Amino acid sequence: MAKQLLGKEVVAALNERIIAKAEALKANGVTPTLGIVRVGENESDLSYERGAIKRCEKLGVEYKKYLLPADATQEQVLAVIDEVNKDDSIHGVLLFRPLPKHLNQDEIEQALDPAKDVDCMTNGSMAGVFTGKDLGYPPCTPQACMEILDHYGIDCTGKKAVVVGRSLVVGKPAAMMLIKKNATVTVCHTRTVDMPSVVKEADIVIVAAGRAGVVDDSYVRAGQVIIDVGINVNAEGKLCGDVAYDKVEPIVDAITPVPGGVGSVTTSVLIGHVVDAAEKAAARR
């Protein structure tokens, strides 16, 4: 039976560190604050917003909402981005995406100050991930994967790692972050030949394929660590990952469940980025 890499244990440890940092900042007159920018009322955005607000309140981080109607113009959204950029009391910004189709999302994303880009949507933040320089912040989901590996003492040095998926949201950043941890990394995608054989060679596997149950028992072997990033709804209406958990779990050494794994860590990572941004802003004063 595989060891369960439970998100709740990682979250508890992360939250403890974040609370301590937030209290230290407040003692020095700085209140870490998240700016939440939402265009329209997409239900998934509202759900994530509720979770982010709840986590802010739990960790001692303030928040300020900037709400725009679904038919907001490009100029109106850019004006809000300019406002949060110039507001020194806002340390990090969460912009819900995708934006309505009539808006130029890339222009809006790139208008944000990378120093406040706690969810990695600017080219500046992404450059930080790929160059290893202190620019902006990495995407929250791959960062959550790294937090899980760190918390459970899984050393990546010299290990073979495979990332299934090559998106800029998870796959490519996760690969860069594993390289920074001295792993030897292979990225698999839809054109990879004989993917099961490639994945089977890995010591550590991060699966962000975007399809339910795509990684089954033919992909894995004993001794592996499996991090499942996927969130899907199966035919029974239940949440499931990109890994066929029931088939894979009896074989591998350790695995993240879905739900209860990576997803539960990402919100604390986001709030942690806000507190880190507040620390950097305070140091610049």
What are the residue ranges spanned by the domains of the chain? 27-115, 140-263
267 close to 245: Cβ distance less than 8 angstroms: no
Global pTM reads 0.93
| 136: alpha, beta or left? (left if phi > 0; alpha if psi -120 to 50) | left
187 close to 163: Cβ distance less than 8 angstroms: yes
Backbone angles phi, psi at 119, to 5 degrees: -125, 15
pLDDT (tens digit per residue) in 200-242? 999 999 999 999 999 999 999 999 999 999 999 888 888 999 9
pLDDT of residue 211: 93
Alpha-carbon gap, residue 46 to 227, rounded angstroms = 27
Tokens representing residue 98 in the block: 């995708």
Q: State in words which class domain 140-263 has.
A: alpha beta
- HEC letters along 56-124: HHHHCCEEEEEEECCCCCHHHHHHHHHHHHHCCCCCEEEECCCCCCCCCHHHHHHHCCHHHCCCCCCHH
Same fold across 27-115 and 140-263: yes
Share of the chain above pLDDT 90, in %: 92
Whether the pLDDT of residue 285 is over 80: the answer is no
Alpha-carbon gap, residue 174 to 269, rounded angstroms = 15
The residue to which tokens 């942690």 are assigned: 272
Handedness of CA 144, 148, 150, 156 (dihedral sign): negative
44 falls in which pLDDT band (50, 70, 90)? confident
What is the CATH code of the structural domain delimited by 27-115?
3.40.50.10860
pLDDT (tens digit per residue) in 149-202? 999 999 999 999 999 999 999 999 999 999 999 999 999 999 999 999 999 999
Distinct helix (H) and strand (E) counts, the chain: 10, 11
CB atoms within 10 A of CB 123: 14
Name residue 123's amino acid: N
